[in-house]
Amino acid sequence: MPETPRDEFDRSWQPRLWITLAVLILIGAYLIAFVAGNDEEASVDFVFGQARTSLIWVILLSLLAGLVGGVLLSQLHRRRQARRSPASVETPSAISDGEAKLKASRTEPDPPAPAG
């Protein structure tokens, strides 16, 4: 039986592609509106000077500085965690012995109450 145009359309329809395309168009439109809405001049005061620039550049450079700082801090934290020796991460035996005794005392039945 030959394929009808409707069957061919149903077979080739890719809703995920169209949803992705729509989301990308919306993000692009939002970015254009964001840039257009933040085009006024802004004054940036440094310790030893001052600069005037468009507000969008201040926002974008702050975003970039935050991203770079976050990545660098996460790498530093990861490096410090990897450098720790297993001995510094282990629970000291005195603490683990105390925990074992505590667990053992919880499993023992309570002594009977005195009659009276």
Question: Using one digit for the tens of pLDDT, what is the confidence trace for 47-60?
Answer: 889 989 888 888 88
Model confidence pLDDT, tens digit, residues 81-114: 887 766 555 666 656 666 666 666 666 666 677 7
Please tell me whether residue 22 adopts helix, strand or coil conformation: helix
Does any domain span residue 107? no
79 in any annotated domain: yes
d(CA 71, CA 97): 40
Residue 44 has pLDDT above 90, yes or no: no
Kindly report, residue by residue over 1-35, the tens digit of the pLDDT. 667 777 777 777 788 888 999 999 999 999 899 88
Domain presence at residue 44 = yes
Residue 112 lies in a domain: no
Domain contains 113: no
Residue 43, domain member (yes or no): yes
Whether 110 is covered by a domain: the verdict is no
For 31, the token pair is 């970015």
Q: How many domains does the chain have?
A: 1
Three-state secondary-structure class, residue 52: strand
Tell me whether residue 1 is in a domain.
no
Residue 70 has pLDDT above 90, yes or no: yes
Residue 51 belongs to what domain range?
A: 8-83
Global pTM? 0.49
Q: Which two tokens stand for residue 24?
A: 């990308």
